[in-house]
């Protein structure tokens, strides 16, 4: 046990470990890695990177699991959407990508020895999280994408729609931060 403790104490001070796992990457490093991986995901899956659309599919699969049927819902009515749903949870590249983000984030925080279950400070936080999540998810479906699919991937595909999305994202963020300072300060 002592040897194990000594090993980890030594590792915590190791320069390479601290640099790679502990210290946050710079914005530039992050941007370069994102650029590389979005090209990889585009090449491998044949579709641009997106996040929130997959969550809608997760919802549809959950609904099917309890006996529901979304075939007649306008959002899922296209042949393409039906094909994705019929292929199933484990045959969906978007699902794999999102699971990768979730478990990757967990792995990163564990490797940095920074995992912590945070306490909920107030009821306000719960209300804001649920309400904010609902508005973001609903808005992302209305916009056919979130800040990844409709902004990042759109701009990377040289689509004008990405820039339009960016403009309204800033307007939304402006009013969002006003609400934040009103209710949380």
The span of 48-56, 75-83, 118-126, 156-164 binding another protein (CB under 8 A) equals: 118-126
The span of 36-44, 61-69, 119-127, 160-168 binding another protein (CB under 8 A) equals: 119-127
Q: Are 150 and 162 in contact (CB under 8 A)?
A: yes
Q: Are 38 and 152 in contact (CB under 8 A)?
A: yes
Output the smallest distance, CB 143 to another protein, in A. Answer: 23
- Whole-number Å distance between alpha carbons of 14 and 16: 6
For residue 144, give both structure tokens. Answer: 């056919």
Query: Toward another protein, which CB reaches closer, 35 or 177?
Result: 177
Of 109, 126, 139, 157, the one binding another protein by CB under 8 A: 109
Chain positions 74 to 103 lying near another protein, rule: CB under 8 A, are none
Residue 118 touches another protein, criterion: CB under 8 A: yes
The span of 36-44, 88-96, 116-124, 157-165 binding another protein (CB under 8 A) equals: 116-124
Residue 5 touches another protein, criterion: CB under 8 A: no
- Residue partners of 109: CB distance under 8 A and separation at least 6: 115
Residue 177 touches another protein, criterion: CB under 8 A: yes
Q: Are 53 and 94 in contact (CB under 8 A)?
A: yes
DSSP string over 120-167: P--HHHHHHHHHHHHHHHHHHHHTTS-IIIIIIHHHHTT-HHHHHHHH
Query: Toward another protein, which CB reaches closer, 10 or 87?
Result: 10
Of 115, 134, 138, 168, the one binding another protein by CB under 8 A: 115
Residue 181 touches another protein, criterion: CB under 8 A: yes
- Whole-number Å distance between alpha carbons of 111 and 107: 6
Chain positions 123 to 152 lying near another protein, rule: CB under 8 A, are 125
| Count of positions (residues) in the chain | 185
Residues engaged in binding another protein (CB under 8 A): 24, 109, 113-116, 118-121, 125, 177, 180-181, 184-185
């Amino acid at each position: 046990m002592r040897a194990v403790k000594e090993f980890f104490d030594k590792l915590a001070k190791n320069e390479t470990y601290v640099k790679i796992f502990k210290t946050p990457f710079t914005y530039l490093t992050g941007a370069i890695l994102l650029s590389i991986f979005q090209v990889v995901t585009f090449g491998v899956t044949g579709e641009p990177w997106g996040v929130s659309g997959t969550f809608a599919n997760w919802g549809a699969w959950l609904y099917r699991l309890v006996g529901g049927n979304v075939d007649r819902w306008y959002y899922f009515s296209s042949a393409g959407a039906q094909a994705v749903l019929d292929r199933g949870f484990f045959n969906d590249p978007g699902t794999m990508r999102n699971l990768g983000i979730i478990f990757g984030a967990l792995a990163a925080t564990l490797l940095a020895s920074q995992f912590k279950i945070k306490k909920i400070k107030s009821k306000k936080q719960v209300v804001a999280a649920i309400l904010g999540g609902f508005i973001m998810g609903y808005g992302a479906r209305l916009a056919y994408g979130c800040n990844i699919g409709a902004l990042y991937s759109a701009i990377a595909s040289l689509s004008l729609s990405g820039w339009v999305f960016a403009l309204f994202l800033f307007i939304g963020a402006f009013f969002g931060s006003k609400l934040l300072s009103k209710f949380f300060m």
